[in-house]
A and B are shown apart, each in its own frame.
Chain A
Amino acid sequence: MSTEEREALAAQLRETERGEAASWVTYPPSPWWWPLAFGAWTFLYVLALGLLDGVAQAGATFPLALVMVGVIAWERRRRGSWPTGRPPQQLRRPMTVLFAGLLGIAGVAWLVGETVGTWPAAALAGVAVAGLVWWYGAAYDRVATQLRSRPA
């Protein structure tokens, strides 16, 4: 294989790497109120779980679940491309922290709900989720910016 052929193939390979990362790292900026909205949603969801029972609980949590489905659908359309498969290595850390953080918040909120009360648990979960979503957005943006600026 000549040097020129090798360079052409190397350029193709770089293009595949750039293309595979594109859906993960190319997206419009998230609205500033994004973390607040997730925090408010969490607050309402924990309240519904803690204060209501039976049909009333289902009547409150079902619309909230529909709102979340709507938000995901809106986000898919806004991004223009919805990534699947394994994310780039550099994005795995903020994603892992997000999922571990959500599990931790759920555990602590449950504990507070059982020992102190539903309202403090909802407030704590809402504030914690808003903070976590804000941190995740900033961390994800930092990594995505680095990956986008890699030479093609």
Chain B
Amino acid sequence: MSETTASSALAGLDPALNAPKRLAIMAVLASSSSTDFGFLREHLQVSDSDLSKQTAALEQAGYLTVHKSGRGRGGVTSYQATKAGRAAYKRHRDTLRALLG
């Protein structure tokens, strides 16, 4: 791939998804109808506060929605990718594939 083509392809990478943990979160959410907090924490092997920070950033970008059900110990927080989030993730992944040939 030439330098010019590579730079234009790099422009297709989403800055919000360049952080590995955020990309991993969106990869899980893009292939699930709904995923809960515990599942994501185990998959990413991160602390509760770190995961909350990453999901808050993605929520602010409009890439996921948060749903809370129940209260206290039995309460569950789950996440769903938005249409925009799925599209951004797909674009980012396709760009990675194109760049790596």
Cβ of A61 within 8 Å of any chain B Cβ, yes or no, is no
Return chain B residues, CB-CB under 8 Å to A77.
76
Number of interface residues of B (CB under 8 A): 29
Cβ of A70 within 8 Å of any chain B Cβ, yes or no, is no
B27 touches A18 (CB 8 A): yes
Cβ of A149 within 8 Å of any chain B Cβ, yes or no, is no
Number of interface residues of A (CB under 8 A): 27
Within 8 A of A (CB), among B43-101: 43, 76, 89, 93, 96-97, 99-100
Partner pick for B43 among A10, A16, A19, CB 8 A cutoff: A19
A16 touches B96 (CB 8 A): yes
B27 touches A82 (CB 8 A): no
Question: What is the minimal beta-carbon distance from B58 to any residue of chain A, in angstroms?
Answer: 13
Cβ of B20 within 8 Å of any chain A Cβ, yes or no, is yes
Q: Which residues of B are in contact with A by a Cβ distance under 8 Å?
A: 1, 6, 10, 18, 20, 23-28, 30-36, 38-39, 42-43, 76, 89, 93, 96-97, 99-100
Q: How far, in whole Å, are A2 and B91 apart by their CA atoms in the complex?
A: 22
A26 touches B20 (CB 8 A): no
Contact with B along A88-117 (1 / 0, CB 8 A): 000000000000000000000000000000
